[in-house]
Structure 1
Amino acid sequence: MKTALRLIIVTALVLLSVSAVFAQTKDVVQLKNGSVIKGTILEMIPDKTIKIQTADGNIFVYNMTEVEKISKDASAPVIETKPMNERSSMEGQRSYEGQSSSEGSGAKFSIFGGVALPMGDFGKKYDENATAEDNAKKGEAKLGWTAGAQFVTGGTVGWIIEGSYSQNKIQLPANIPYGNYSYTGWTSILALTGIKIGTDNSSGTNFFVAPLVGALFAKSPQIDFTQAGSTTSMPLLESRSATGFAYGANVEVILGGHVTLGAKYVASKPKFKWSEPLYTGGPSQDYEFEQNVSLLLISLGVAF
């Protein structure tokens, strides 16, 4: 758990640094009347209009015939305008949008993909020198992949809802019989929600954190064994399904309003239960085991 928290903190610092670099570089629109507007260009239609958002969240739309020059500037964002009487003469050609506009609502829907890094007991290997109880806790999961979708509301405080699918292959124990094996990995389906705290999504580059709670739908690996020289396979380990309460935290940066970089730590303890006969035709025996599932999901996505 401590290792996961350290990774989350380090990742958050990296994402903040990236966010700061992007946030410092501003677009500059210089108009033919001498006005200079600094902020983030949201939309530019060649030979028609340009839309730019300033640091205070206001959005301006200009006809391209009004624009003298467009450039980049790393200085703090400001607005320099002509006197009001000169501005009012241009209202027929330019519209002004406040934060109440649809662009200012800040709601974002995104899809993402990335790596699923097993943490703690979930990623530990079978150890011949360990006790049976300790080995039973180990998931033997390897580095895997994840993909999902997310919806985040606007404002500095809002809601986050997301779902994801992850796959982690397993590391076969060293003490299993010699032969051929076919096996599946761990499957993790997450449904999570939480409170998002950070910057308003309506601006170009944003950062937020979110504690998360929800459910994990897990499926354990299945291992089939075929003895050397035989064509008949037998299950060494059957796949089981279970559900558990999940919790964690998400750190995310949205760059330019469209590119997402995220790091999410999630933990759960699904309990697998099943029954099987002690011998052919004999009475059934109930079994259960609880698996610690801890994942660090690092993702890259696209927001709409």
Structure 2
Amino acid sequence: MAYAVHHRTEAVDGLEVFYREAGNSQAPVVLLLHGFPTSSHMFRNLIPALSDRYRLIAPDHIGFGQSAMPSLDEFPYTFEALTEITSGLLDRLGVDRFAMYVQDYGAPIGWQLALQDPQRITAIITQSGNAYTDGFVKPFWDGLFAYAKAPGPETEGPVRGALTAEVTRWQYVNGVADQSLVSPDNWVHDQALLDRPGNNEIQLKLFRDYPTNVDLYPDVHQYFRDSQVPLLAVWGANDEIFGPDGAHAFRRDLPKAEIHLIESGHFALESHLETITQQIRGFLSRAIT
């Protein structure tokens, strides 16, 4: 039986955090962490598909979706700060242990949660949620790293292109054989939120902070080796942001990782919801029973 999806807010450190929630409150928790440039909206179909067996919690990061969007003067907009808000939300909701589904920006937030307290993490599902330099596809990342290293007018121009409607749409349809499976509501919704006054400066700040996530990769790899946490990678084989080499790389430190490449792109849930749902249900039944 699928549970109704609730749309809620919780105050964390004085900021309103929006989250979607469904499932039995006593069921094992799966935390869903979205990427750029989207929000928990990306999980709107997955949540009911898993809610018969799990408690799903999908927050919008600060500056994204329906969560608060304080100015740069009011919030630091680092991945560490986003992690602290997520951790605070889990504490407010009484969540001690959880599996997590990480995608794009959700991955570094998830890795930091794991490094803070490895015992909290029961299993990991990663869908274009990168943890290895192998996953960075050129030339997509060249501009961001150049901008983060030397912010200025010359390097800022190219990365501002990532905030345009054209690139937002591209992230959804690139690598998808049948693009008619992907609803245009996705990029229209995301772009409307990106276009809010002041949001572009927030995204640029996070771009500048992104290399701090790469600096943590050695610690993340050590966490994988020490914990041998169960991990499922369901990854778009045609993703030109985080390529499939990033999925295969998990087996370096987690030899039992389950790797499944899907004929899709960066937002594979939009074209392959049923396939990914089946993979997750099988994986979690083995990993956290």
Pairwise TM-score range, normalised by the shorter structure = under 0.3
Structure with the larger helix share: 2
TM-score between both structures, scaled by the size of structure 2: 0.21
TM-score between both structures, scaled by the size of structure 1: 0.20
Structure with the larger strand share: 1
